[in-house]
């Protein structure tokens, strides 16, 4: 088992870049694969999860060439051009990949089976199977979990579906199935979630409207191959936005970060806590907005996180809990029960690690209450367990900016699913992360 040993540091700073966006990289392969002609993707995230999606798309008959570092060329086979893989498709650690692929595969003429690693095999899949069955798909799960078996040859019809949970993955799975349905597909969200699928579908020439949390898609005759640029992943930048806020130093800049407003809830939450953040050099990567983000150390204060910001910061809570531990007073998160069904139960696992490092916290059914302290050494040294969750592992590495002694973080191999060179980038920002 690989572990991190992170040493306390006195300053955090510098100028760094983070790797490409995971959500956008997955989607670029799936949509590129069913488009007509070539799709070139620059800034592609070469992480284990995205490479699993690449392998799956290749197994379905799509030629994908790596033409340079972080650059791939997808030879799209058209909406009806995929063929049976002949074996189960292994989606690794990624719930996004499995759920989106379920939507894509239920409109095909052949049968498919989706499996994943031990974490993914425990995650709920009925949330996509239920609406897809309403569209006519034939899907089986094992007690609600993978393996997911998708029967080919189903006739799909468009539906209007009100999502019971705010989930971009469920929304996207339905939209992908909608590409193969008769009639219009309408998805209504209870709260705003990331809209990368909608933006990218438009880039591929698909007509789609989105207004007041309602997305409408009419099945296109074809998707057109295109050029895509993947911005730096805001969720990877998040670790450094918190490190720069709680550490000491002259400031840290993260360059080329995707700032799609459906992803940047953490900026609003940190601002409410008193963080000193500046978003500068606004530009775009195709339809996705990009900027550099500057962060300076600040005295943070505890807050009650507004529940409407939860879906906009859904992957950033582990590292936000680290910020909360360094914020004077109490921070309360509620309405975040979804955290319990991510790569780990992120409420329970973070609470366990925070407690091990001497931070007082109370687990709530749908969130957490954290007693923060503004002293220099907030975290005692010691051992924490990531439970194989990449974002938990990286979050506790950030704690080293305010730790009294080294922290050993167990089971960090899955960091490679989203952020292959995390230790190197962390070192460039002044953190001292050793793989042991």
- Residues in touch with ligand S3P (CB under 6 A): 23, 96, 167-169, 172, 193-194, 314-315, 338
**What is the closest distance, in whole angstroms, from the C-beta atom of residue 267 to ligand S3P in the complex?**
17
- Give the whole-angstrom CA distance, residue 346 versus residue 337: 9
Residues contacting 143, CB < 8 A, separation 6+: none
For 265, the 3-state DSSP assignment is helix
Indicate the residue among 217 and 401 with the shorter CB distance to ligand S3P: 217
**What is the closest distance, in whole angstroms, from the C-beta atom of residue 171 to ligand S3P in the complex?**
7
Indicate the residue among 229 and 315 with the shorter CB distance to ligand S3P: 315
Q: Known catalytic residue: 195?
A: no
Indicate the residue among 292 and 389 with the shorter CB distance to ligand S3P: 389
Pairing mode, if any, of strands 288-296 and 276-285? antiparallel
Residues contacting 180, CB < 8 A, separation 6+: 79, 106, 107, 108, 156, 219
Active-site pick, 117, 233, 292, 315: 315
Indicate the residue among 106 and 359 with the shorter CB distance to ligand S3P: 106
Indicate the residue among 167 and 386 with the shorter CB distance to ligand S3P: 167
Indicate the residue among 315 and 411 with the shorter CB distance to ligand S3P: 315
Indicate the residue among 153 and 164 with the shorter CB distance to ligand S3P: 164
One-character DSSP codes across 61-90: T-EEEEEETTEEEEEEE-TT-----SS-EE
Axis-axis angle for helices 95-105, 48-59 (nearest 10): 20
CA 313 to each of CA 127, 161, 165, 192, 333: distance values in angstroms, whole numbers, following the listed order: 20, 24, 15, 11, 12
**What is the closest distance, in whole angstroms, from the C-beta atom of residue 145 to ligand S3P in the complex?**
15
**What is the closest distance, in whole angstroms, from the C-beta atom of residue 178 to ligand S3P in the complex?**
16
**What is the closest distance, in whole angstroms, from the C-beta atom of residue 410 to ligand S3P in the complex?**
22
Say how many CA atoms lie within 13 Å of 75 toward its Cβ. 9
| Closest by Cα among 115, 291, 312, 128 to 213 | 312
Residue 226 · residue 35 · CB < 8 Å = yes
Indicate the residue among 46 and 330 with the shorter CB distance to ligand S3P: 46
Residues contacting 375, CB < 8 A, separation 6+: none
Residue whose pair of structure tokens reads 């939860």 in the numeric block: 310
φ/ψ of 153, rounded to 5, equals 80, 10
The residue number whose beta carbon is nearest to ligand S3P equals 23
Residues 211, 216, 220, 224, CA torsion sign: positive
**What is the closest distance, in whole angstroms, from the C-beta atom of residue 265 to ligand S3P in the complex?**
12
One-character DSSP codes across 354-373: HHHTT--EEEETTEEEEEE-
One-character DSSP codes across 281-327: EEEEETTEEEEEEEEE----B--B--GGGTGGGTTSHHHHHHHHHTS
**What is the closest distance, in whole angstroms, from the C-beta atom of residue 90 to ligand S3P in the complex?**
18
- Give the whole-angstrom CA distance, residue 50 versus residue 236: 15
**What is the closest distance, in whole angstroms, from the C-beta atom of residue 118 to ligand S3P in the complex?**
18
Residues forming the active site:
315
């Amino acid at each position: 088992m690989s572990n991190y040993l992170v040493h306390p540091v006195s300053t955090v700073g510098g100028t760094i870049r983070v790797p490409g966006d995971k959500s956008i990289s997955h989607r670029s392969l799936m949509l590129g694969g069913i488009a007509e002609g070539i799709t070139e993707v620059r800034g592609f995230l070469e992480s284990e999860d995205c490479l699993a999606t690449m392998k799956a798309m290749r197994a379905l008959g799509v030629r994908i060439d790596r033409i340079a570092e972080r650059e791939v060329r997808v030879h799209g086979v058209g909406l009806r051009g995929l063929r049976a893989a002949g074996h189960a498709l292994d989606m690794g650690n990624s719930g996004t990949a499995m759920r989106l692929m379920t939507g894509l595969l239920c409109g095909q003429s052949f049968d498919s089976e989706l499996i994943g690693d031990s974490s993914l095999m425990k995650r709920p899949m009925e949330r996509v199977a239920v609406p897809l069955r309403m569209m006519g798909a034939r899907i089986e799960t094992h007690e609600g979990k993978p393996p997911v078996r998708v029967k080919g040859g189903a006739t799909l019809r468009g539906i209007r579906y009100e999502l019971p949970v705010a989930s971009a993955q469920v929304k996207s799975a339905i939209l992908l199935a909608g590409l193969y349905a008769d009639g219009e597909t309408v998805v209504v969200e209870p709260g705003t979630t990331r809209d990368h699928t909608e933006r990218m579908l438009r880039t591929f020439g698909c007509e789609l409207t989105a207004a007041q949390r309602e997305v409408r898609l009419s099945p296109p005759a074809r998707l057109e191959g295109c050029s895509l640029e993947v911005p730096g992943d805001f969720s990877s930048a998040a670790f450094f936005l918190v490190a720069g806020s709680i550490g000491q130093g002259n400031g840290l800049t993260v360059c080329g970060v995707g700032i799609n407003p459906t992803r940047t809830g953490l900026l609003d939450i940190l601002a409410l806590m008193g963080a000193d953040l500046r978003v500068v050099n606004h530009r775009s990567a195709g339809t996705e907005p990009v900027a550099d983000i500057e962060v300076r150390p600040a005295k943070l204060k505890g807050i009650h996180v507004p529940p409407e910001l939860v879906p906009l910061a859904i992957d950033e809570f582990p590292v936000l809990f680290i910020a909360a531990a360094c914020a004077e007073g109490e921070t309360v998160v509620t309405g975040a029960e979804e955290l319990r069904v991510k790569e780990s139960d992120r409420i329970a696992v973070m609470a366990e690690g925070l407690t091990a490092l001497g931070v007082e916290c109370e687990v709530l059914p749908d969130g957490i209450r954290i007693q923060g302290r503004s002293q220099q050494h907030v975290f005692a040294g010691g051992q924490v367990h990531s439970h194989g969750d990449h974002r938990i592992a990286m979050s506790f590495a950030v704690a080293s900016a305010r730790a009294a002694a080294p922290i050993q973080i167990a089971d960090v191999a899955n960091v490679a699913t989203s952020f292959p060179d995390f230790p190197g980038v962390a070192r460039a920002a002044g953190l001292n992360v050793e793989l042991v």
